[in-house]
Structure 1
């Protein structure tokens, strides 16, 4: 049965992947027409599984199966359904569909639940449209920042305006906030987005923690000039300085065993015969422990100032995102470990997540834990994202068994 249901989930991933703002690649962003269509499709699958559905005040799609009596606290299961540009079809989406199928199997078994089960399809984990990740889950966790209302997308539309265009009332946003007493925990299944499981030829793992991340918008400022007429000893080339900084970020990241990435770099004014006078670049830095992350930021900043002083340049840094590392709850980890054993793996792997997830926000309101399943080659955030049907079947078995373990604990 699990193999048949795994194929169903893969088919549903394909259906969701067809909902895209671009005909050539998958892109589905927060509060877009595609977001609405995906919510509607997921809501239909939730209802098929026996859940009562609603869209919350932040645009998250939710469903609930009551426990043995109404209004019990809920065990929350979920992930996200928004995407990065040119995305794969399993990041986030597969976790939502696994959660729905787990609830369907629990309901069909007829077991008595000491808590309700809820599924949430978070609306904005990636931050693609407005540049700030975890908006959907932070709304649920009640850690919303009012200055987010002024964030704008590439068309100049503010988040406040996008809420209204989507049919949401910004004044009613607190209706999405959850209280600790309403929840007993949060479980999320997700593709690993890395190669550890694939390299080890293992299907599943329990997640011990989620990396702490900080992101920065950096600028290196020099002076534009004629490429032919300006001697090297008079140049203040912002691009050469920025390039040296990129290499320093790689060096420091390797030395400190952290993950530093410059994903965007743009030189201005951009003429082929003009010395760049300004460079804008991004920095994404992640680590298992916040202390290592923060010390690496200090060293990178120190290197940037040294490079720019030596080259007659100016350096500026603005932090645009911060999420501290999250330790997954030990009790929930134990339930997932028991679930993996139920799938046939008697010696489950435990790994920390290098990628960020909605649990980083949800932990503010309830304990969290995660189940990883392997993705081919560790490739994610790319159309080549791929999973095996047998691995999805194993994840479904393990996920259900983890929930049953918590049911048995009462």
Structure 2
């Protein structure tokens, strides 16, 4: 039986597959991703999975059920990383999925569905700026315009795909239909501190955050820093600073979460009053109604304080992704799996980060299991998990997979709208 220690050793081996010699960085369609594919494909083959790489660059493996060609219960996560990454975000989920298949062994051959493991090629969007490319291709929501995206060196996504051995004209073959899938289950580190604070190994995800991103432009008047008295000043930066504080003050005690990650000031001279300041807002909430209500509250407050200072405000919406509820039947199976590990009252958590399940939900039901990570740290080399938590996760995930796959009522609800969001 594959152990948590073996899973963690495989995570260590994958961490050596990097595009950068000094830190872990594995971007979409790079030599490092190809090296990671070779490792994981080897483990899949040894475990008895039939393997292939689809035309989006996703690595897939399959074990048949009681007869060939049955719909599949899909397990997986992603193999790409952000720059200077940790070694568990995404990778742990892929390797836990594989370990579950190894644990189940010949039992799958008696099931009314097949079992598949997918290692998505691009969840983070670090290379081409558009996330979930792998899972959106699988879900059949690929946008042909993405082939023209360019990385920092000017290479198009289409050229990178060809260099990787893929054929962009065949991207449609990566898509699955709802009739081909039973559901999608993913194990993932929490990327937050709530499980650790509660001293729990595992949590059941209720939904993946609905996100909106917008740009706020505050317009004032650039004038001489020494010659303009305060009553005559229309300082865009001071207005933007007040607005940023308002964002934090308004959101921090709500159920939503917001981040100002970018701020630009013009003209940017030390002796000139700023005439223009632009900042970004990343807003997330458990559901779309709460997210949109908070957006309205924030913009009403920002406009009021800027008006009081004689400043103009212009808002540009940049991005929107609907919240993705996890399917009740899959949540129930995961809860039962966690209960079987000895946690009689599993924690329910909503995911503030985006995941491949957001895209996969366009074609089948999704469910997620969170595994405790140290201090909630992620997207950083200090990312860490404990062997005991991974062991509990393997037990819970195996129990859940068996329950979903062998349920006589196995099926899926109507798909959600196609979505996608960076993590």
Same fold per superposition (TM over 0.5): yes
1: distance between equivalents of 2:371 and 2:307?
47
Aligned match of 2:151? 153
Residues 1:204 and 2:197 aligned together:
no
CA deviation vs aligned residue, 1:195-251 (integer Å, no higher than 9, x gap): 121111111122122221122344444455554455444544333232222112112
Aligned residue number for residue 82 of structure 1: 80
The 3 A distance-change label for structure 1 pair 290 and 225 is: same
Aligned partner of residue 17 in structure 2, secondary structure: coil
Q: Does 1:336 align with 2:334?
A: yes
Deviations 1:117-138 (A, max 9, x none): 1111112212222333222211
CA distance in 2 between counterparts of 1:281 and 1:85 reads 23
Pick aligned residue for 1:240 from 215, 238, 241: 238
TM-aligned CA deviation for residue 288 of structure 1:
0.8
Taking the aligned partners of 1:227 and 1:168, their CA distance within structure 2 comes to: 57
Deviations, residues 268-302 of structure 1 (Å, cap 9, x unaligned): 45444444444443221111121010111122233
Where does structure 1 lack aligned partners over 5 or more consecutive residues?
Answer: none
Higher mean displacement: 50-59 or 279-288: 279-288
TM-score by length of 2: 0.89
Runs of 4+, deviation exceeding 6 Å: none
Answer yes or no: is the 8 Å Cα contact 2:66–2:109 preserved in 1.
no
Preserved CA contact (<8 Å) 1:132 1:321: no
Is 2:193 aligned against 1:195? Answer: yes
Q: 1:298 to 1:326 in 2, by over 3 A?
A: same
Secondary structure, counterpart of 2:392 in structure 1: helix
Secondary structure at the residue paired with 2:185?
Answer: strand
Give the 3-state SS of the residue equivalent to 1:335 in structure 2: helix
Quote the offset at 1:79 in angstroms.
Answer: 0.7
Q: How many residues align?
A: 408
Distance in structure 2 (CA, Å) of the matches to 1:319 and 1:45: 44
Structure 1 distance, partners of 2:349, 2:111, is 30
- Distance in 2 (alpha carbons) for counterparts of 1:237 and 1:291: 34
Q: Give yes or no for contact 1:256–1:292 (8 Å, CA) kept in 2.
A: no
Report what 1:13 is aligned to: 11
Q: How does 1:2-41 map to 2 (within 5 A)?
A: 5-41=3-39
The corresponding residue for 2:260 is 262
1:282 paired residue number: 280
Q: CA deviation at 1:387?
A: 0.7
**1:321/1:55 Cα in 2 relative to 1: closer, same or farther (>3 Å)?**
farther
Cross-structure match for 1:118: 116
Partners of 2:379 and 2:61 lie apart in 1 by: 27
Question: Quick check: 142-151 or 118-127, which moved more?
Answer: 142-151
Q: Which residue of 2 aligns with 1:103?
A: 101
Q: After TM superposition, give the deviation of residue 310 of structure 1 in Å.
A: 4.0
Work out whether 1:403 is the aligned partner of 2:401: yes
Residues 135-144 or 36-45, more deviating = 36-45
* Change in CA separation of 1:97 and 1:258 when aligned onto 2, cut-off 3 Å: same
Distance in 2 between residues matched to 1:345 and 1:298, nearest whole Å: 40
Q: Residue in 2 aligned with 1:63? A: 61
Q: Separation in 2 of the partners of 1:50 and 1:277?
A: 64
Q: Answer whether contact 1:88 1:384 (CA < 8 A) is retained.
A: yes
Please say if residues 288 and 325 of structure 1, whose CA atoms lie closer than 8 Å, have aligned partners that are also in contact. Answer: yes
Match of 1:249 in 2: 247
8 Å CA contact 2:73–2:405 kept in 1: the answer is no
Task: Provide the rounded CA distance (Å) in 1 between the counterparts of 2:84 and 2:225.
Answer: 36
Deviation of 1:50 (Å): 1.3
What is the match of residue 366 of structure 2? 368
Counterpart position of 1:346: 344
Counterpart in 2 of 1:138? 136
For residues 38-57 of structure 1, the C-alpha deviation after alignment (integer angstroms, 9 at most, x for no partner) is 22222222212211111111
CA distance in 2, matches of 1:222, 1:175: 52
Look up the match of 2:416: none
8 Å Cα contact 1:359/1:368 also seen in 2:
yes
Q: Does 1:327 align with 2:325?
A: yes
Larger mean Cα displacement after TM superposition, 347-356 or 183-192: 347-356
Could you say which residue in structure 2 is the equivalent of 1:172?
170
Partner of 1:304: 302
Q: CA distance change for structure 1 residues 319 and 175 in 2, over 3 Å: closer, same or farther?
A: farther
Normalising by structure 1, what TM-score?
0.91
* Contact 1:89–1:385, Cα closer than 8 Å, also in 2: yes
Does the 8 A contact of 2:205 with 2:348 survive in 1? yes
